[in-house]
Homo-oligomer: A and B are copies of this chain.
């Protein structure tokens, strides 16, 4: 029997699970709607997926050594509890998921923030192979990040490590839905871009973006704003320009403050940023020490659900030691 680990990537909508080899190959996988049993049933879905995958793994004579779960929330590294900020999986809030899974399945289990898991995946299987320090920035609906420095995941004292999404890029800037102002997410996430565009269109009855949205502000989404900006719409152009400059500023903060070898921009909105790479890098260059920036690889990589799943598995490899598996 060959050894492998089980990874579970819990999303707000869909949850995927699979058996992953120490080399990162996904051998057996499945996915289900996270809340298939109704609102607040994420925990049950996770359990069903793990059961199903373990059964299939046994049939394939795969020896599963541990379970890793990436969740859209903050996980306290000491208590193992998922933070109250995890609005997409309300039934998991304040739950010590790892110890519950370990007990139920009789396997070592590890739970961490999904972008932390993604950073481990980049480090083990992705662009970060051979790299000691990297930061993953993941603009999606919100804005996550994961940090690996000196070869170690930066979880922080309570698990907030990497929460640059609600770090300020402008301390007197735009209000954010979190109640603060000037957050990176308010400028450069999908929700931030859509909200900023709606506010501008609401104040500008003649905006072309209003027509593109069929006259309904609710139809203004981040992809539509990127598309309108590419088509020359000035309102959308301003919003996307600010998004690029804010993202570049955060890259500057990261390059100057943490000086990693690699910064990966991925997540749901990354593909929209890809054609604007020069604009983002120019903004970063305005803020970063040029000597540091020139030696940092900055890559925009469209989101890859498979990599996130492998990241959940990477949590097990990271915690248990890849070689000792």
Contacts and interface: CB of A to CB of B under 8 A. Distances in A.
Contact of A170 (B171, B291, B296): B171
Nearest to A157: B261
B158 A154 contact: no
Given A163-B289, A253-B164, A182 B158 contact: no
Contacts of A257: 145, 147, 160-164, 167
Interface in A161-187: 161-164, 166-173, 180-183
Number of copies: 2
Nearest to A166: B256
A246 interface: yes
Contact of A252 (B85, B147, B168): B168
A287 interface: yes
A321 interface: no
Contact of A246 (B83, B167, B171): B171
Contacts of A133: 156-157
A248 B156 CA distance: 19
A239 B241 CA distance: 29
Contacts of A248: 171
Given A152-B150, A163-B289, A182-B249, A259 B168 contact: no
B249 A154 contact: no
Given A133-B156, A260-B157, A296-B157, A286 B170 contact: no
A171 B169 contact: yes
Contacts of A213: none
Interface in A267-291: 283, 286-287, 289, 291
A169 B172 CA distance: 9
A167 B289 CA distance: 9
Nearest to A155: B259
A71 interface: no
Contacts of A182: 170, 249, 287
Contacts of A154: 149-150, 258-259
A292 interface: yes
A253 B256 contact: no
A188 to B, nearest CB: 11
A13 interface: no
A279 to B, nearest CB: 13
Contacts of A149: 149-150, 152, 154
Interface of A: 83-85, 132-133, 145, 147, 149-150, 152, 154-164, 166-173, 180-183, 245-246, 248-249, 252-253, 255-261, 283, 286-287, 289, 291-292, 295-296
7 contacts: A149-B154, A158-B292, A160-B255, A161-B259, A164-B257, A168-B287, A171-B248
A-B complex: 8 closest residue pairs judged by Cβ atoms? A156-B259, A171-B249, A160-B259, A167-B253, A163-B256, A160-B292, A168-B249, A164-B257
